[in-house]
Amino acid sequence: MTTRTQLAGLALATTFVAATASAQTVAYWRFEGDASTRLLDSSGNNHTLTAQNTSGIAYAAIPESGNGSGFLNPVGAALLPNAQFVAKTGTDNSTGGRFLAADSTAFTMNSLTLEMMLNVTGHNALSFLAGHFNGSNNQRSYALSLDANRELQFILSGNGTATEFVMSGITLALNTDYYLGVSMDLTSPTQAERTVTFFIQDLTAGTALQSISLTNIATASVHNSTTSFAIGSQGGGGSAGSFQGLIDEVRLSQGVLSANQLLVAIPEPSAFAALAGLGALGLAASRRRRR
């Protein structure tokens, strides 16, 4: 049975942030280079990906225009330029391709930030973007996904079976480059103080980064799932739920990152001073669904 309640504490702010190296990085998958390097974990923590159903996977250079051309270069002298992305063609896990990193205790966190760049090229059902989640009972932890209407959502489970859906109120357009992020903080024993914050920037239109913070999260801690961490699908496969589109620069970090640690660029100080005065924008209340 599904119930819906109003989420308190919804705020939308226009923010400008920079990407910096962080000791909090758990895994960072960049999909750069050739077959020997593109699935490596750039964090140095050895969470190497395995590609499955590779007929549904292609790698392409960042183009001058069109889909993927808005994907940003990372900031930081130690990072190579963002030169290519991965494209997933199918919407079924058996044909669409997916990427898995073997289960690790490092993936089970009650405070985390998950980021990526993506472009949705096709969609007809629930699709998983990334997370430590498998649809089978006792294997659910957390995942960033799109519902059937392409609304961005974050799924949580405290016992591996029951799920809490935190809805962003944001619907992604097709064939549009985005930066997406989500921060989760379940460390407070008080439900009203537990938060999920969504970040989104339309890279095609070049708009500013926006953040949407939602409180009153019922899940007190995430389940320690033993499934793989997955990109472009749920961790254990299944007949549906595969993302169709372009994915790039997927980073998982421990804790809620500060504004200057996210994977998006900051404008010149003078531009920041002028734009920061725009203040907070309003957004209609979102909703949370619990099963």
What H or E segment, with its residue span, contains residue 101? Answer: strand 98-101
pLDDT digits over 78-114, tens only?
677 899 999 998 766 667 788 999 999 999 999 999 9
Higher pLDDT, residue 6 or 175: 175
What does R_g of the chain's alpha carbons equal in angstroms?
18
**H helices of 27-96, where?**
none
CA atoms within 13 A on the CB side of 10: 16
Higher pLDDT, residue 257 or 1: 257
Q: Tell me how long the chain is.
A: 291
The domain defined by 3-290 folds into Jelly Rolls (2.60.120)
- Window from 138-152, 178-192, 272-286 with minimum mean pLDDT: 272-286
Provide the pLDDT for residue 275: 34
What H or E segment, with its residue span, contains residue 126? Answer: none
pLDDT reading at 178 higher than 70:
yes
User: Is the separation of the CB atoms in 219 and 194 below 8 Å?
Assistant: yes
Give the number of other Cβ atoms within 10 Å of residue 78's Cβ. Answer: 7
> pLDDT-based confidence at 197, cuts 50/70/90?
very high
pLDDT digits over 210-254, tens only?
999 999 999 999 999 999 999 998 887 555 688 999 999 999 999
Nearest by Cα to 183 from 223, 206, 158, 211: 211
Provide the pLDDT for residue 126: 87
Report percent pLDDT > 70 for the chain: 78
Return the domain boundaries, the chain.
Answer: 3-290
Provide the pLDDT for residue 40: 96
pLDDT digits over 17-73, tens only?
333 445 599 999 999 999 999 999 999 999 999 998 888 899 999 999 999 999 988
Distance of CA 258 to the CA centre of its chain: 16
User: Is the separation of the CB atoms in 25 and 253 below 8 Å?
Assistant: yes
Mean pLDDT of the chain: 82
